[in-house]
Chains A and B, each alone.
Chain A
Amino acid sequence: MGSSSSSRNKIPNAQELMDQTGFSSAHLLRLYDRFECLDRDNRGYLRQDTVDFSSFVRILAHFRPTDRNRNKEGTQQELPNSRTRKLKFAFQLYDLDRDGKISREELLQVLRAMLGLQVTEEQLQSIAERAIQEADLDKDDAISFDEFKKSLEKVDIDTKMSIGFLK
């Protein structure tokens, strides 16, 4: 189709994005269409000029289903949809001040947002307390990324954090 090649030219750094994220060009085009659809004022950025198309793609790349084949040993870690990268993404949702640890306050904030009006403040405190107690191995009263990873080792992150659409 003639339109596809012209749209591909519209996407800046298409090849670079494809290499870094592992998306195919068809996917990239779909995402670009979606981006344009969301970007109603046609400014090239979403959400008050913070997210441009390549960031959009990079974030979404975390949600690609993990490739089961391990033929490329070294590069597995670099692809955004590896398990470690997915966990890192989730970790960053908690760790708002980017100090590499989830403090009790950050955990409380997330819990508050999730449980909201269903629980009282005390219950929230207890839950956060208990969660930190379970995960915190070096007793520094905060959850580091490694502790986070360890506490989720039994959970199948690869399938949980994947959207089949983006395969």
Chain B
Amino acid sequence: MAALWTLSLLLSASLLGCLAVTSPDGSPLPHNLPPSLGTNSSDGSLSVDLPMALRVFSMDYHHVQAPFEIVLWIMLASLAKLGFHWSGRVPAVVPESCVLIMVGLLVGGVIYGVRHSAPPTLSADAFFLFLLPPIVLDAGYFLPGRLFFENLGTILWYAVLGTLWNVLGIGLSLYGVCLLAQSSLGDVSLLHCLLFGSLIAAVDPVAVLSVFQEMQVNEQLHILVFGESLLNDAVTVVLYKLFESFLRLPSVSGLDVLLGGCRVVVVGIGGLCVGLFFGLLAALTSRFTSRAQVIAPLFVFLYSYLSYLTSEMLHLSGIMAIVTCAATMKQYVEANVSERSNTSIQYFLKMWSSVSETLIFIFLGVSTIQDIHMWSWPFVCSTLLLCLIWRATGVLLLTAFVNKLRRNAVTFRDQFIIAYGGLRGAICFSLVFLIDDFPKKRLFITTTIVVILFTVFVQGMTIKPLVELLYVKRKKRALPTLSEEIHSRLIDHLVAGIEDVVGYWGQHYWKDKFEQFNKKYLRRFLIRNDRQASSSILRVYQELERREQRGVEEEAPPIVDPRSQGRPLLPEEMESIRRILSRNLQNFNNKQTPAYSRHTLHQDTSVDRTRKPLYRHQSLGERYSYNTITHFQGEDGGLSEPQRVRTGLSRSHTVCSISPRSTLLDSSVSAGLAQTRSTDPREDLVSPRHQETVERAARKHLSFVLENEKQQ
């Protein structure tokens, strides 16, 4: 609570600072200072006009006004966000977006009270050019590719057809309402209603992201709602511009409507192509950044922003462009740049998108305090109702169709959440400000604000308890186990093969084709040296290893990696220990095998960090086992690998029993060996008892081995 108080104090302090500094705007600036006096003071400074004397202290606000105010707003937004997370139970109940809007309302109210004029509003330009791109970029970069493409058909279905359904439905029914309430709403034409419908029907990615983030529903549901909100931008933009241009035309013909339809396709695909182009370019550029690693992250941002601006310039869908760009370049950039650069990229993306989102919501709140509201009960209420109704019916109908074609159906609960999670946000808000002025524009603005506030507050706050109430499937938190990963991969291959046999060009077929194309051409061209082709199985394995590594305490020297007792000791470690011993003794006898210890260790440290867990975990032994295998290859012929090693082992054990070196062995080691000798390794490969004794003496063995090597 103390933190909350300090933060609110800070907030109000920054606010007052902002206000105090801007309030002299109204008062006459000292333009009327005689030009002779104060020649070295810039225009509008508040310095005292002493004749020709040196000023010890002066303030010049206008010099820094613009960046200063921007920074103050961003500071306000960030402090509000901090305060939100520190405020005890509030985050559990109220989503972040609501709190931010409330803060914005508060700030707007204060500013209005102090200045008696409207507070600064969110200009559409600032929103579309500066605030929206970071959020969409972040969303595109972290888009779960596989899930997205698996559900692409459904997502497109919802985005295109669903948006069309909503727009036409809301527009036409609103017109009906206007006709009914002829007295107050008589001058709202059909086109105006359709225009309004087009901007209010669109689901907003920013709002959806911020609310669904905290909810952790199952991934499929998340990707459906989120993907729809991203892709419906194409339809929304086109319809909005279409209706706007229709409004300017003297008359609308059928041809225009048809052209409008073509435009949707062009806008969508055009945005896609622009994004692809810039994405590939970025991937190519990142290939050459090995010598200037520090600026590598910059390219990611530059190219993405360029793609956005280019498509906005060409009146294509900027959101689609930036999402495609990010999704395309991701795998190549990650393979090309260093790990630190990767972390930087991810961190900056998250930071920028977070700041943007916070700013958007605060401005939404601030801009609500306006002079220009116009209220009309029938219009506002009917808009709210119609939005809900049309979305619900749209989702129901579309899902009924699409379930027939999907492998796993979208359940009713999921459908409800999809319909209910259709939040409107700042995009509608900016679009409504861009409408050409006409008498009822203020009504539209008010209605838009009401709808946004309603969806964000009411729907945003209640969706979380609803999700729990309806037992909607939640996100799986655990990493898939290695078995799951391997077997799933196998089944994918299997199904791809069967699809081929049956002659069905299903998802797997296309996925396989793309993967082949990717490996053959794209990766070779765009990635620096493609040694790190990561299979998902390998990645899961490395991740699991990495997680275990973190749980292990490092007590012994770093080369020796003692395991905590909790983790079950792998049999291979015991074998590796045995091999170390055998190799050690063998080495002394043969002197033909190369010096392995320092080489392989040195090679270990120079290998990439991503591979480290693999090697470290294996300690010294595994490499020896590999060498042992190759060493014994000639002798053992057709035996299977583990058996080969083990028979080799038995031979070395017999060697060691007669070796003079055996006197140097630790007592526990000899005990272990004695046990080995007693059991016949050829028949009974590894007995559990045997393993245990060696396991107990594991650490000692390794350290002994090191000493042994040093002696050699």
Interface residue ranges, A against B (CB under 8 Å): 31, 34, 37-38, 60, 63, 65, 90, 93-94, 104-105, 107-108, 110-111, 114-115, 118-119, 121-123, 125-127, 129-131, 133-135, 139, 141, 148, 151-152, 154-157, 159-166
Contact = CB atoms under 8 A, between A and B. Distances in A.
Chain B interface size, under 10 / 10 to 19 / 20 to 34 / 35 or more: 35 or more
Classify the interface of chain B: helix, strand, loop or mixed: helix
Interface stretch (B172-180, B357-365, B463-471, B479-487): B479-487
A93 B482 contact: no
Nearest to A123: B614
B36 interface: no
B640 interface: yes
Q: Which of B482, B487, B501, B642 has the most CB of A within 10 A?
A: B487
A23 B641 CA distance: 44
Given A163-B499, A165-B504, A135 B483 contact: yes
Interface stretch (B293-301, B319-327, B490-498): B490-498
B626 interface: yes
Interface in B516-541: 533-535, 537-538, 541
A81 to B, nearest CB: 13
Interface stretch (B240-248, B568-576, B675-683): B568-576
Nearest to A127: B541
A122 to B, nearest CB: 5
Given A119-B535, A152-B483, A90 B490 contact: yes
B541 A157 contact: no
B494 A161 contact: yes
Interface of B: 405, 407-408, 476, 480-484, 486-495, 498-499, 501-504, 506, 533-535, 537-538, 541, 544, 568, 570-572, 614, 617-618, 622-623, 625-626, 640-642, 688
Contact of B487 (A108, A139, A151): A151
A114 B488 CA distance: 12
A163 B495 contact: yes
Contact of B486 (A104, A131, A141, A156): A131
B570 A161 contact: no
Contacts of B537: 111, 114-115, 127
Contacts of B503: 34, 37
Nearest to B568: A133
A114 B572 CA distance: 23
A118 B538 CA distance: 9
Given A131-B486, A133-B568, A134-B482, A123 B538 contact: yes
Ranked nearest first, the 8 interchain pairs of A and B with the lowest CB-CB distance are: A151-B483, A165-B504, A159-B408, A159-B407, A135-B483, A118-B533, A131-B482, A127-B541
Contact of B484 (A114, A155, A166): A155
A100 B30 CA distance: 94
A54 to B, nearest CB: 16
Given A34-B502, A38-B501, A165-B504, A122 B491 contact: no
Contact of A164 (B498, B506, B625, B626): B506
Given A37-B503, A118-B538, A133-B570, 8 more contacts: A60-B498, A125-B622, A126-B614, A160-B488, A161-B491, A163-B504, A165-B499, A166-B502
B502 A65 contact: no
Nearest to B476: A154
Contacts of A131: 482-483, 486
A94 B641 CA distance: 18
Given A90-B487, A127-B537, A133-B570, A163 B481 contact: no
